[in-house]
Amino acid sequence: MLKNRDVVKSVLPGLDAVPGGWTQESAPKVLEAGAAQCRTDPPSVSFRGEAEYKDPSTDNVAEFEVYALSSVSAARSACQSTRKDTPPSMALPALGDESHAFGRQDGSSGKTVISVVRFGSVVVGVTYRIEAVDWTQAYGGDHLEILTRMLVDRARQACEGRAPTARAVL
C-alpha cells in the first residue's frame, strides 16, 4: 500500500524516468483526500498523484496518475467501475492484478489512448494524447504499454518498500 504523500510522489515519474528529450508540462504533485481537487474522486482515495510530460518532437502528451486507495476491495471496485464506464477497446498485456486500455479519436489526426491498472490497493492510469498525423494503432498501443509498464513497475517497487527506479524508453 502507498500510505503517505512522499511514497505516492515517488511513484510518479520524473524527467529521469520518461523518454529522453521529453519536457515537463505539469510537475509531479500529490493531493490528499479531502483537498478541493480530490473531492470528485471516490471517497476511498487516500492520495491522488499526477504528472504530465510532452514529447516536443511530436507534440504527444502523457499524463500519469496514481491513486492510493484505502483497501484492495476499494481499488478493485474503482477499477471495475472505470472498466464499466469505458469498456476495453485496445489490447493491453496483463499488468498488475487488473488492467484494461481504450482509445478515442480526437479530431482528424489526434488520438487519445488510456490505460488503467490495479496493483493491490493502488490504481494507476496513463493517458497518452497522440497528435502525430501518422498515428497507427500499433504506435499508440506500443507506447501506451511501455509507459504503463513503467508506472506499474514504479508502483510495485514503492509497495515493496524500494525507491522507484523504473524508466520508459520508446
pLDDT tens, 71-84?
999 899 988 888 88
104 class by beta-carbon count within 10 Å (0-12 exposed, 13-18 middle, 19+ buried) = exposed
Whether 105 is covered by a domain: the verdict is: yes
Whether 10 is covered by a domain: the verdict is: yes
Whether 157 is covered by a domain: the verdict is: no
Task: Tell me the C-alpha distance between 68 and 4, whole Å.
Answer: 9
Whether 53 is covered by a domain: the verdict is: yes
Task: Give pLDDT, residue 39.
Answer: 46
Whether 121 is covered by a domain: the verdict is: yes
If pLDDT is split at 50, 70 and 90, which confidence band does 142 have?
confident
Task: Give pLDDT, residue 38.
Answer: 44
From the list 16, 81, 17, the residue with the least C-alpha distance to 43 is: 81
Whether 31 is covered by a domain: the verdict is: yes
Which domain, by its residues, includes 93?
5-135
CA angle (31 as vertex; 30, 37 as ends), nearest 5: 135
Pairing of strands 122-130, 110-119: antiparallel
What are the DSSP E strand ranges found in the chain? 23-32, 45-55, 60-69, 98-106, 110-119, 122-130
**Number of domain units in the chain:** 1
